[in-house]
A = this chain, B = another copy of it.
Amino acid sequence: MKLNTESNFDFSGGIIPPLVTPMLDDDSLDLEGLGKLIAHVIAGGVNGVFILGTTGESTNLSNKLKHELTQKTCELVNGRIPVLVGITDTSIVESVKLANTAKEAGASALVAAPPYYYALSQQELLEYYTDLNQRLPLPLFLYNMPVHTKTVIEPKTVAELSKLSGVIGLKDSSANSVYFNKLIHTMKGQPDFSLWVGPEEIMAEAVLMGASGGVNGGANIFPELYVALYKAAKSGDLEKVRKLHDQVMLISDSLYTIGKYGSSYLKGVKAALSVLGICSDFMASPLHNFGKSEKDQVAKAVENIKSMIG
């Protein structure tokens, strides 16, 4: 990662959970839950936290809540690990405002997916990120999330943007490992530009092939497991990788498949945290938390996973 005088942390790899946003209702935080969640993941050995990503339901929150979450998270983390703040917004003005709040609160870096109403071309992505980056008080991670933003940040565009001071890495949630390997190949002369993978089902292999680490939703629930898997992959211990990866696949297969609709992963993570007594499972509109029957399934799945992963 580039030397960055703006950033108060240096982190070179590992597991950074994309935190869920614990809420009491549509416009108030579950602060107690947030505190417990942060304590839980720090105890689990994670290398940072990323708030206001897709797992954090960022786009569904009011601006007031986003700023408040940013301040409270930085307070609660209190400098122990880096805090990354998602500033993805269709309005660049709002992105910059939130970035300034993040800076003041003591966050380490920012993460921004493309504005997601229009499907932007590569040239438009270049212009957008160049413009955004100039206005930011903290270093920036790009965030590739094509299913929601309707566009891929192509490796050539990433290479171009990596030349800008302040653009320090990319998180990829595309699940497309051909794309990710092309990124690794394209960026391999720039070791200070770090590449992170979203989906936990491919974290192990991405790290084996050169990724910096994982930004995996399951690390909200079972942080030690993801940290251990990351370390096994980083050190090339294939036997351990296979064993721990199987456990991650069990989580994916039993916890993220409950209920219908595309958001079952999100609901599964939040319901599991609620079952474990960590935080509320309230979800912001247009999503809804699970009903009793699905939550019972989640409880059973969590019990089973716990007995498996010891």
Residues of A within 8 A of B (CB): 26-27, 54, 59-65, 90-94, 97, 114-121, 123-124, 127-128, 131-132, 148, 150, 175-179, 181-182, 184-186, 199, 201-202, 204-206, 208-210, 236, 238, 242, 245-246, 249-250, 252-253, 260-263, 284-288
Contacts and interface: CB of A to CB of B under 8 A. Distances in A.
A129 to B, nearest CB: 9
B245 A26 contact: no
Contacts of A206: 205
B62 A91 contact: yes
Contacts of A90: 59-60
A115 B205 contact: no
Nearest to A266: B118
Contact of A238 (B65, B119, B236): B236
A261 B124 CA distance: 9
B208 A182 contact: no
- Chain A interface, >50% SS class: helix
Contact of A249 (B26, B121, B185): B185
Contact of A205 (B118, B124, B209): B209
Q: Which A-B residue pairs are the 6 nearest by beta carbons?
A: A177-B177, A62-B93, A205-B205, A59-B90, A92-B285, A185-B249
B63 A94 contact: yes
Contacts of A242: 209-210
A115 B116 CA distance: 11
